[in-house]
Amino acid sequence: MPHAYQLQREQHRATTVQRLGIGVALYDRYTELSAPHVTPVHVRKGTMLQEAGARATHYYWISSGVARRGHISVAGEDLTLGFITEGENTGSHSDMMGGLQGEPALEFFVAETAVEAWRIDWMAMQRHKAEHGFVHEYYLKIIECSIRRYAANLQIRSHNSAEARLEAFRSQFPGLEQRITQRALASYLGITTQYMSRLRKTP
């Protein structure tokens, strides 16, 4: 089974090393080291990968499909924070670190489409990070990429009009709109599904 994981990682190697700004050797070393700690997961749309309120002990590397990242507001509203696609990891760093102390996660990750992924043991990889400098380097690059993604999400939401936010989303994440539900996109943009429907009908 780890061999299948490595083969799928190879398919996303070029885009991932470019996105993270790392070398192929580092990517391959991390893949090889993490392979014994992965479990294949195939889930239907709507399946929770991580629940808010539960301890986060694993994260997922997505090989196929789209996952939605979100949290539940104080008012009980389901709010969308972003989306994870092929070659990317789920997981909130703060939730994962809190999970080591037995604290519940604040965010959730749910399959926005059918998802094929690999569940990775967070604690095992933390032990490797303490033992191997290259694992620490890899995680720093992932965190840097997450910060850039967070900044992009903020920039999209900073536009005053829903029309501008939608256009910015389409520019930043080309092709993603067609893969996610109207409800999820409306939540991400901070508008109602009814208004989202009207926006899509606007020529």
Per-residue pLDDT reduced to its tens digit, 129-169: 999 999 999 999 999 999 999 999 999 999 999 999 999 99
Cα-based distances in Å from 126 to 26, 57, 97, 132? 17, 11, 10, 10
41 forms beta bridges with 117
Q: What is the pLDDT of residue 199?
A: 87
So where are the chain's domains?
Answer: 2-158
Nearest to 96 by CA among 133, 139, 159: 139
Nearest to 189 by CA among 144, 50, 181, 114: 181
Q: How far, in Å, CA of 168 to CA of 80, rounded?
A: 16
Nearest to 146 by CA among 58, 84, 74: 84
DSSP secondary structure, 129-173, as one string: HHH-HHHHHHHHHHHHHHHHHHHHHHHHHTSSSHHHHHHHHHHHS
Q: What is the pLDDT of residue 156?
A: 95
Q: What is the mean pLDDT of residues 73-97?
A: 91
Nearest to 116 by CA among 6, 8, 3: 8
- Whose tokens are 């070398």? That residue is 23
Q: How far, in Å, CA of 139 to CA of 129, rounded?
A: 8
Q: What is the pLDDT of residue 82?
A: 95
* Ramachandran class of 79: left when φ > 0, alpha when ψ lies in -120 to 50, beta otherwise: beta
Give the model confidence (pLDDT) of 11-37 as tens digits. Answer: 999 999 999 999 999 999 999 999 999
Whole-number average pLDDT of the chain: 93
Query: pTM for this structure?
Result: 0.92
Is 2-158 assigned to CATH 2.60.120.10? Answer: yes
